[in-house]
Amino acid sequence: MNHPSPGDFIDIHNHGSIISQGHFCVENLMAHEKRIPDSRKGITYSFGIHPWHLDNLTYEEDISLVKLFSAHDNVIAIGESGFDRLKGPGRDFQGKAFEEQVRISEEAGKPLFIHCVRAWDDLLEMHRDTRPVVPWIIHGFRGKPELARQVVSRGMYISFWFDFIIRPESSALVKSLPADRIFLETDGSGADIGEIYTKVSSDLGIDLNDLKRQIYNNYTGLFG
């Protein structure tokens, strides 16, 4: 398994990662893409079925790939999986696929990346029903502090939506959360992860290097 260094900018969720000095990426692979993880330096992977790409015709093959690659040394997490009320198949199919990926996450002992759009009730209900031991990571979060505190109280981590987190109005959310529960991401947008780190370090009133160390500690505490 590849590991970041304390001085790296850790991009916890990306698509199409370009490896560069001083950066460490978690690249999300989606089963329908038929891409496979490798062992290149500076990158690790999550692997799962995104709710947008659930298909009855390919589901069994896709879920088999998730199970297969959950054992890969450089796959550190399952997903992204979750619920989306704006895109994808119905709630029942999304729930079936999500529950199965929770099971794989638990069996592999690897955290689960969450995609959730206007379906927080579904997600929290599933968390209550499945009672996972392995933590979940909400990626692309841009909700209110009250919701953020609710998911953190259940042992989850939060990674902020790249576009939202650089806006002034995100400061209240950042300040409301324990620093040991946050991550930062670019989500394949081409955004500058260094700019995101700089904004968040300013919001928290800490030095940029201290924020790097904090997120490094969060990473190693979660993924080992």
- 114-165 confidence digits (pLDDT tens): 999 999 999 999 999 999 999 999 999 999 999 999 999 999 999 999 999 9
Of the pLDDT bands very low, low, confident and very high (cuts 50, 70, 90), residue 93 is very high
* CA neighbor of 172 nearest in space, from 194, 198, 200, 191: 200
Give the separation between CA 156 and CA 134, rounded to whole angstroms.
Answer: 9
Closest of 50, 44, 52 to residue 74, by C-alpha: 44
| Distances from the Cα of 70 to the Cα of 29, 47, 48, 186, angstroms | 12, 7, 9, 23
Residue type, 71: A
pTM comes to 0.96
CA distances in angstroms from 140 to 124, 191, 220, listed in the order given: 17, 13, 21
Which residues 6+ apart lie within 8 Å of 106 measured at CB?
Answer: 132, 133, 134
9-223 topology per CATH: TIM Barrel (3.20.20)
The CA distance from 49 to 205, in Å, is 38
Length, in residues, of the chain: 224
Domain boundaries, the chain: 9-223
CA dist 105 → 98, 144, 160, 199 (Å): 10, 27, 22, 32
Q: What is the mean pLDDT of residues 92-96?
A: 98
